Copies of this chain bind each other. A is one copy, B any other.
């Protein structure tokens, strides 16, 4: 693993994001953006804290069409926000049972948007408004709230080189942890112990934290990939899959590895080979100008993406960055055109036997001429433990 990139970003990166947003706002006729979720607020401010785990307090950022962003946040966050590049920070003591920031937010919005300026709120797939319905309904009275013309999606789906370096760093850490799985997984070890120890390996190798770990184990495959671990011990013939979203400086990797417990069966090795071939096909199709649906068809041509057990996953990959999953999706209906700077997962799955599946995932970045792997990709032979 090469030297870790610098933590954080310089103010220039945030100014560049702001400037791009403001160009788009002018085109869309928006007076400002109103943001309320962790990645939305962090994208424009750098405000990085695990405190969002608490649902108690709402947090807001106003990104005006002209001028610098305004943070409207609980007082508990002022010390940290003050260390960001944001200068206009307005706060209240939250929780306030009568008015949990709504008046303060409304005043700031009126100041920026006047009484008839359009306030854009992210409102498409994979977004939500993070504030109580009561507050939201009260806030909307007399304001002109519309969708954000997909400005946040359009910005975030193209990553800067500094962002890509952080995703690659998370991936390099996960690579080191995956290489050590034989230390913690063998026949007889309960799956829940493997899960706990794998998270420890990720932390030891340098992950800041491990927001996501899923996995499964079963004879020549598994039935789903989102269940928590049971205390059932691994047995010979199992395929063990571990899928992690480890974070470094606020950016995720998201990829998995399969391991054969004992010598791999012909069925399992064949499943693994198909998955590797599907990734090859996805990579061959991944370049600026191609569409997300092209990646789907390239991979589905190898792994029969329309079989029921496989299609239940809903897609064969997705965007990746400040969140474990981001837009766009590798599905037949997604016509998003690939651009330099997009970061994606390729995530084919294949049915091995009787509704059981194997899933494989790698992380890639779209370059000017094609795509590169952000993590060291899996070998063509299934690794035994």
Contacts and interface: CB of A to CB of B under 8 A. Distances in A.
B331 A95 contact: yes
Interface residues of A, number: 77
A211 interface: yes
Interface in A45-90: 48-51, 53-57, 74-80, 83
Given A74-B314, A227-B49, A95 B129 contact: no
Interface in A196-242: 196-197, 199-200, 203-204, 206-214, 223-228
Interface stretch (A17-25, A118-126, A269-277): A118-126
Contacts of A204: 196, 200
Nearest to A130: B128
Contacts of A301: none
Contacts of A134: 123-124, 147
Interface of A: 48-51, 53-57, 74-80, 83, 93-98, 100, 121-134, 137, 147, 192, 195-197, 199-200, 203-204, 206-214, 223-228, 245, 311-315, 318, 323-325, 329, 331, 333-334
Given A49-B227, A56-B126, A79-B223, 12 more contacts: A53-B211, A54-B325, A56-B329, A76-B312, A95-B331, A97-B125, A128-B130, A128-B131, A134-B147, A192-B208, A199-B203, A200-B204
